[in-house]
Structure 1
Amino acid sequence: MNPVSEITILRRNIFTKVARRALNRPLDQGPSSIDMAALVKELIPDGPARYRCCIYKERAIVEERIRIVIGEAKTSPITIISEACNGCSLNKYIVTDACQNCVAHPCRNSCPKKIISVIQNRAFIDQNSCVECGKCAKACPYNAIIEITRPCERACTIKAIKVDDSRKAVLDMDKCVSCGMCVTVCPFGAITDTSQMLNVIDSLRKQEQPRVAIIAPAIAGQFGPKVTPGHIKSALLRLGFDRVVEAALGADQVAKEEAEEIKAHYDAGLMTNSCCPAYARAIVQKMPELTGNLSACLSPMKVVGQLVKKQYEDKVTTVFIGPCIAKKAEAADSREIDWVLTFEELAALLQAAEIDPAAQLPADMQDASPYGRLFARSGGVSAAVQRHLSGILVDISQVQGLSQCLTTLKLSAKKTDGNGFTFIEGMACEGGCIGGPGTMVSPAVAGRALEKYAGPLDTAKERDDSQITA
Structure 2
Amino acid sequence: MQIFGELVKRYWNGELKNADTLNILAEDIKEKYNFKDEDIFFIKNHIRVAMGLDPRDKDNFQDEINIIKNSKEINQPIITKIDGPCEYCEEENCKCSEDCKYEAHIYKRNKGPVIVRNNCLNCGECVTTCNFGALADKIEFMPIIDLLKDENTTVYATVAPAIVGQFGEDVSMGQLRTALKLLGFKDMVEVALFADILTIKEAFEFTHLVKSKNDFFLTSCCCPIWFNLIKKNYPNLFEHMSPSVSPMIASGRFLKKLYKDIKVVFIAPCVAKKAEIKEPALKGAVDFVLNFRELNEIFKVLNINLKKLPGDEKDQASFAGRVYARTGGVSFSVKTVVNRLDPTRLIKLKAKKVDGVQGCKKILDDLSIGKDIGANFIEGMGCKGGCVGGPRTNINVDKATKIVNEFGEDSLIMTPFDNLNVMKILKQFGINRIEEIATNEKIAKLLTR
- What TM bracket, shorter-length normalisation? 0.7 to 0.9
Report the Cα distance in structure 1 between the residues aligned to 2:102 and 2:115, rounded to whole angstroms.
11
Give the corresponding residue for 1:338: 287
Give the corresponding residue for 2:23: 37
Match for residue 427 of structure 1 among 374, 377, 381: 381
Give the corresponding residue for 2:390: 436
Give the corresponding residue for 2:155: 211
Report the Cα distance in structure 1 between the residues aligned to 2:178 and 2:330, rounded to whole angstroms.
28
Whether the 8 Å CA contact 1:87–1:166 is kept in 2: the answer is no
Whether the 8 Å CA contact 1:155–1:182 is kept in 2: the answer is no
Match for residue 47 of structure 2 among 48, 66, 72: 66
Whether the 8 Å CA contact 2:202–2:244 is kept in 1: the answer is yes
Give the corresponding residue for 2:71: none
Report the Cα distance in structure 2 between the residues aligned to 1:226 and 1:167, rounded to whole angstroms.
45
CA-to-aligned-CA distance 1:79-126 (integer Å, 9 cap, x gap): 121212247567xxxxxxxxxxxxxxxxxxxxxxxxxxxxxxxxxxxx
Tell which deviates more after alignment, 249-258 or 152-161. 152-161
Match for residue 166 of structure 1 among 110, 118, 121: 110
Map of 1:388-407 to 2, 5 A cutoff?
388-390=337-339, 391=343, 392-407=347-362
Matched residue of 2:237: which SS? helix
Match for residue 299 of structure 1 among 232, 242, 246: 246
Matched residue of 1:245: which SS? strand
How far residue 197 of structure 1 moved from its aligned partner, in angstroms, is 0.6
Whether the 8 Å CA contact 2:86–2:111 is kept in 1: the answer is no
Give the corresponding residue for 1:356: 305
How far residue 342 of structure 1 moved from its aligned partner, in angstroms, is 0.4
- Unaligned stretches of 5+ in structure 1? 1-11, 50-54, 91-147
Report the Cα distance in structure 2 between the residues aligned to 1:346 and 1:203, rounded to whole angstroms.
16
Report the Cα distance in structure 1 between the residues aligned to 2:48 and 2:278, rounded to whole angstroms.
20
Instruction: State the structure with more CA Rg.
Output: 1
Report the Cα distance in structure 2 between the residues aligned to 1:155 and 1:164, rounded to whole angstroms.
10
- Would you say how many aligned residue pairs link Structure 1 and Structure 2? 392
Matched residue of 2:277: which SS? helix
Report the Cα distance in structure 2 between the residues aligned to 1:46 and 1:248, rounded to whole angstroms.
41
Which residue identity lines up with residue 85 of structure 1 in the other structure? C
Report the Cα distance in structure 2 between the residues aligned to 1:454 and 1:353, rounded to whole angstroms.
30
1:451 paired with 2:396, answer no
**TM-score calculated relative to the size of structure 2:** 0.81
- Unaligned stretches of 5+ in structure 2? 56-75, 426-449
1:186 paired with 2:130, answer yes
Whether the 8 Å CA contact 2:277–2:284 is kept in 1: the answer is yes
Report the Cα distance in structure 1 between the residues aligned to 2:197 and 2:87, rounded to whole angstroms.
46
Give the corresponding residue for 1:365: 314
How far residue 199 of structure 1 moved from its aligned partner, in angstroms, is 1.2
Give the corresponding residue for 1:110: none
CA-to-aligned-CA distance 1:291-332 (integer Å, 9 cap, x gap): 11111111010111111000013x100000111111111112
Whether the 8 Å CA contact 2:413–2:419 is kept in 1: the answer is no
Give the corresponding residue for 2:188: 244
Map of 1:306-345 to 2, 5 A cutoff?
306-313=253-260, 315-333=261-279, 334-345=283-294
CA-to-aligned-CA distance 1:261-285 (integer Å, 9 cap, x gap): 1111114612221110111111111
Report the Cα distance in structure 1 between the residues aligned to 2:286 and 2:314, rounded to whole angstroms.
21
Map of 1:382-393 to 2, 5 A cutoff?
382-390=331-339, 391=343, 392-393=347-348
How far residue 398 of structure 1 moved from its aligned partner, in angstroms, is 0.9
Whether the 8 Å CA contact 2:175–2:309 is kept in 1: the answer is yes
Whether the 8 Å CA contact 2:293–2:392 is kept in 1: the answer is yes
- Percent identical pairs in the alignment equals 31
Whether the 8 Å CA contact 2:210–2:376 is kept in 1: the answer is no
Whether the 8 Å CA contact 1:217–1:373 is kept in 2: the answer is yes
CA-to-aligned-CA distance 1:194-222 (integer Å, 9 cap, x gap): 11110111110113321110011111111
Map of 1:123-202 to 2, 5 A cutoff?
149-152=93-96, 154=98, 156-163=100-107, 165-166=109-110, 168-202=112-146
1:377 paired with 2:326, answer yes
Tell which deviates more after alignment, 458-467 or 245-254. 458-467
How far residue 414 of structure 1 moved from its aligned partner, in angstroms, is 3.1
Evaluate the alpha carbon distance shift between residue 368 and residue 220 of structure 1 in structure 2; reply closer, same or farther with a 3 A threshold: same
Report the Cα distance in structure 2 between the residues aligned to 1:290 and 1:169, rounded to whole angstroms.
31
How far residue 431 of structure 1 moved from its aligned partner, in angstroms, is 0.8
Report the Cα distance in structure 1 between the residues aligned to 2:249 and 2:32, rounded to whole angstroms.
47
Match for residue 281 of structure 1 among 228, 232, 235: 228
Tell which deviates more after alignment, 349-358 or 221-230. 349-358
Report the Cα distance in structure 2 between the residues aligned to 1:209 and 1:384, rounded to whole angstroms.
36
Which residue identity lines up with residue 8 of structure 2 in the other structure? A
Whether the 8 Å CA contact 1:161–1:169 is kept in 2: the answer is no
Which residue identity lines up with residue 449 of structure 1 in the other structure? I
Evaluate the alpha carbon distance shift between residue 160 and residue 462 of structure 1 in structure 2; reply closer, same or farther with a 3 A threshold: closer
Q: Please list every run of at least 4 consecutive aligned residues from structure 1 whose deviation after the TM superposition is greater than 6 angstroms.
A: none
How far residue 165 of structure 1 moved from its aligned partner, in angstroms, is 4.6
Give the corresponding residue for 2:370: 415
**TM-score calculated relative to the size of structure 1:** 0.77
Report the Cα distance in structure 1 between the residues aligned to 2:101 and 2:363, rounded to whole angstroms.
14
Report the Cα distance in structure 2 between the residues aligned to 1:68 and 1:242, rounded to whole angstroms.
27
Report the Cα distance in structure 1 between the residues aligned to 2:416 and 2:364, rounded to whole angstroms.
35
Report the Cα distance in structure 1 between the residues aligned to 2:174 and 2:296, rounded to whole angstroms.
15
Report the Cα distance in structure 2 between the residues aligned to 1:171 and 1:415, rounded to whole angstroms.
33
